[in-house]
Amino acid sequence: MKITIGLSLSLTGEYAPMGRQAERAIQLFIADANASSALRVGGERCEFALECHDDASDPVRCAEIYRSLCADRHADIIFGPYSNRLAGIAAPIAEQSGRLFVNHGGAGDELYEHGNKLIVGVLTPASDYLRGFVRLLSQLKLWRKRVAIVASKSPFARAVASGFERAAEERSARRRGVRVRVKWNGAFDPESTPARLFPALKRNRIDALASAGSYQHDVDVMRAVAESRLNILVLGCVAAGVARFASDLGELADGLVGPSQWEDSFEIDPALGPTPAEFSRRMRAVGAVDSPDYPAAQIYAAGLLTAAALA
């Protein structure tokens, strides 16, 4: 029996660096699963096949792909695309066709708030992304932790910022002096935004700043603040959890913090699949230039969980 996993990934366009990682990882999962010969459904041996198309990071193209995968029954199981934006396009299409939608790449809370009953997610919701940053601030030996949040207007960024604010309002954080003093909601233009934002940061004596938005948004915010004379002590952003962030920012990345779904240095004994170090080694063996980031681990984990559910 052959079970086809259908999905789109951003092999070109804005999300291509993560989409290409995810493609290698799902290919690796299918090769590993088929080599093991372990999957049986109803006593019959099953193998996975893959139907993956490049959505070019484009919502229109993404919708076309998922309508075809679902309506033409090209795939038995639907995996989502990478990014919250594209997952929000694909999930309703799968729901309307009555197809299971395995969400490995969209973290937005709103994906689970529209009544979709066939979506299964494997990653942390966006509203929890920076809760650990709040805990970190709470533990610092600063009398006051005056915080700024710089977030774009995307649903993902709003969810990250809202979760951060809720965590900062909890009694344990407030008791330790965490206070949100400045909130910037909108696009961050490195040429014009600092002239409007930075005086507010200085006036409110901000000593910690969190950024949430696209990868480029976070890079622009962190670079501008780190190169300024604001001397903000603690900087954190979502993008800091990705390996290329360090190379893109160079020395400015030193000391910045961010959330990560997965790290290859974690020493754990997984219930399913390879250890983080083994997965990283296997990814490099199949052509990954650098160590994989969490988007690759997430889609591999989605495959493992799908196989376990089928079995």
The CATH number assigned to the domain holding 140 equals 3.40.50.2300
| Domains: count for the chain | 2
Domain presence at residue 19: yes
93 & 207 share domain: no
Structure-token pair, residue 252: 């400015």
Give the angle subtended at the CA of 210 by the CAs of 204 and 216, to the nearest 5°: 125
120 & 140 share domain: no
80 & 33 share domain: yes
Q: What is the pTM of this model?
A: 0.88
103 & 142 share domain: no
212 & 237 share domain: yes
215 & 186 share domain: yes
121 & 141 share domain: no
pLDDT at 37: 78
> Could you tell me the strand order of the sheet in which 178-185 lies?
178-185, 145-151, 208-212, 234-237
145 & 121 share domain: no
Of 138-152, 231-245, 287-301, the one with minimum mean pLDDT is: 287-301
Find the mean pLDDT for residues 51-68: 97
Structure-token pair, residue 278: 């083994």
CA atoms of 52 and 48, how far apart (whole Å): 13
118 & 8 share domain: yes
Domain presence at residue 98: yes
282 & 196 share domain: no
Indicate the pLDDT class of residue 260, thresholds 50, 70 and 90. Answer: confident
Mean pLDDT value across the chain? 93
pLDDT at position 289 over 70: no
197 & 121 share domain: no
Give me the helix-helix angle, 16-36 and 294-310, nearest 10°.
40
**CA 117 centroid distance within chain:** 22
* Domain end point (choices 209, 226, 253): 253
Find the mean pLDDT for residues 74-88: 94
Nearest Cα neighbor of 62 from 124, 15, 117, 126 is: 15
Domain presence at residue 95: yes
Domain presence at residue 239: yes
119 & 136 share domain: no
Q: Is residue 10 a contact partner of residue 50, using CB atoms and an 8 Å limit?
A: no
Domain presence at residue 259: no
Instruction: Supply the range of the domain harboring residue 143.
Output: 131-253
Domain presence at residue 262: no
